[in-house]
Amino acid sequence: KCSSTVRLVIEGCETMTIEQQLEQQLKEFNSAPFLFIGSGFSRRYLGLEDWEGLLKKFAKYLPNDFDYYRSIGENQMPMIAQAMAEDFHELWWKDEKFKSSREEFRGKVFNKTSPLKIEIAKYLRTKHQNTVVSKHLEREIEKFKKVVVDGVITTNWDLFLEKLFGNEYKTYVGQEELLFANPTHIAEIYKIHGCSTDPNSLVLTHKDYENFRSKNAYLAAKLMTIFVEHPIIFIGYSISDPNIIEILSSIAACLSGDKLIDLQKRLIFLQRDKNNQGESFHPMPMVLDKNITLTVTCIRTNDFGKVYGVLSKNRRKFPAKLLSQMKNQIYELVKANDPNGQIYAVDIDQAKGIDFSKVEFVFGIGISKKLSLVGYKSIKKLDLFEDIIFDNKNFEYKNIVRETLPELLKQDRFIPVYKFVSQSGLRYDELDQRIKQNLNLEHSSFIIKTLRKKVPFIQEKCKSIDALIDEFYDNYGMQRVLEYIPLLKIEDIDLEKLKEIIIENWDFMDSETYKKTLLRRLIRLYDWLKYKDVVRDVFAVEQLVYS
């Protein structure tokens, strides 16, 4: 039964892209994903060595060849690292080339493995500053920077993730820091194998792994909430990676029946199409300890940007860092009843005489009632642009057309109107004259006058948005692509791809740059392409009825 069910699911999805299938699967869950990132991520974007390559790099300082240590360690990387660390210890204390390291880490060499960890950490601390040379990978990273996720778990030691997420995310280093902390599971990075900022935290040798495994049950308990509440997307790991299997085995041991079925639905592995088999979105068995087999989802592609694009489509109502702080404050309130008097819960409608300058967070009830008094005339242009792309404002479109659009069009005639008119239920003769004028747009309305001479050239050379990106993405990033998209033939503009491009570059809407103008033009183009036929059909029927 299971195999036929899987086959039917795949057959039903044959016409769907991997983006559409991922989007559909993520809609089953209420929370944003967590990323679980491994060494393959840093190899892909920074060109870092794998574990064996890293050890070979430092074996050149030692008296014996790497193969000598491989034989001692029986080809097991933790055992090889253990043997190397013991020989490296003696060398590090005597060799003049490590003098500066000895001075820098005076008092921090706790055991024989510390010197090797120190040199590996020093090497990795600067590697995140490298830039990706491939344009394709550059575009992937630009998309990755915009993903909306609740957090990251990683076994990587480098600082690349901290660079990509910036100071919005708080980092926990090592098992112990995570075990004794109270993480909020929002805007956090858990470096469970340590970090190059603290060399002694690195899980490198056989003894390190033994110590790590001894606490694995506690770590699994700490991560349990994440795995049962969030979809988990694994990037940079093989499906047979022993680190992942150990952690999932510990978590699965605490679950049974329906909970295990729910867990496997949440596990998604992103993998390279290294054998050029073609893109796919398919189930794959994953064998854990104790004869447990999970059927996880595998996405196979050479364009990881497609997955990052899907992850960037979610919009938060508050910045991730603020959500994390608020969640932490609520936790402290529940635990200590009133943490230093810095939190205040109040019915906004009854709040009088409160000095809010002394309050860090206010949680209010009744605020929507207050806001409703402001009315639709106060809605800003950005809110309309955002609703067209994210459909997240819950507007009453009749009021938007009657009150908001006439006011905004007095100030700016370049406001999108098609979606709001098409869903307002109003007749054509009920529309403001300015709105009627904006319903007479044509394809040429979205093409910059100075670029009109380029239209034949662009339409001949590029038959899709992806082709534009391949041809014109340069050192200036997406600016030229954003300019040229309206120049394509209408039939060559894929609406979903256009929406994806807009979402990926949404940050420009908060700037006062030329790119903001370009992005607004693309949103108007999207609005026109998606809703123009609906508006035309509605008013065509109306003309028949009223004639």
8 has pLDDT over 80: no
pLDDT confidence of residue 445: 93
Average pLDDT for 295-321: 84
pLDDT confidence of residue 166: 84
Cα–Cα distance between 482 and 521 in angstroms, integer?
A: 9
Give the H/E segment covering residue 37. Answer: strand 34-37
Task: Work out the burial of residue 448: count CB atoms within 10 Å of its CB; fewer than 13 is exposed, 13-18 middle, 19 or more buried.
Answer: middle
Structure tokens given for 153 = 């778990």
pLDDT confidence of residue 340: 52
182 has pLDDT over 90: no
Render pLDDT for 316-326 as a digit per residue (tens, 0 to 9): 555 555 555 55
Cα–Cα distance between 65 and 358 in angstroms, integer?
A: 64
Which residue in 76, 37, 39, 71 sits closest to 208, CA to CA?
76
Are 297 and 269 spatial neighbours (Cβ–Cβ below 8 Å)? yes
Handedness of CA 120, 121, 123, 129 (dihedral sign): positive
**Conformation bin of residue 290: beta by default, left when phi > 0, alpha when psi is -120 to 50:** left
Which of 123-132, 339-348, 436-445 comes out lowest in average pLDDT?
Answer: 339-348
Could you tell me which residue, 298 or 515, shows the higher pLDDT?
Answer: 298
Structure tokens given for 350 = 């009854």
Average pLDDT for 398-421: 92
Cα–Cα distance between 63 and 353 in angstroms, integer?
A: 76
Ranked by mean pLDDT, the top range of 91-100, 321-330, 362-371, 509-518 is: 91-100
Residue ranges with strand state E in 201-354: 232-235, 267-271, 280-287, 293-300, 343-347
Average pLDDT for 27-34: 90
Render pLDDT for 75-90 as a digit per residue (tens, 0 to 9): 999 999 999 999 999 9
> Which amino acid is present at 487?
L
Which residue in 241, 239, 295 sits closest to 263, CA to CA?
295
How far apart are the two ends of the chain, measured CA to CA in Å?
59
Structure tokens given for 469 = 């990106």
5 has pLDDT over 60: no
Name the pairing type of β-strands 343-347 and 151-154.
unpaired
Handedness of CA 208, 214, 218, 220 (dihedral sign): positive
pLDDT confidence of residue 544: 45
Cα–Cα distance between 243 and 403 in angstroms, integer?
A: 58
pLDDT confidence of residue 10: 43
Residue 286: beta bridge partners? Answer: 294
Matching residue, tokens 């993520």: 26
Distances (CA, A) of 528 to 60, 162, 260, 524, 534: 63, 40, 46, 6, 10
Q: How confident is the model at residue 116 (pLDDT cuts 50, 70, 90)?
A: very high
Q: How confident is the model at residue 349 (pLDDT cuts 50, 70, 90)?
A: very low
pLDDT confidence of residue 531: 94
Average pLDDT for 409-417: 93
Give the H/E segment covering residue 190. Answer: strand 188-191
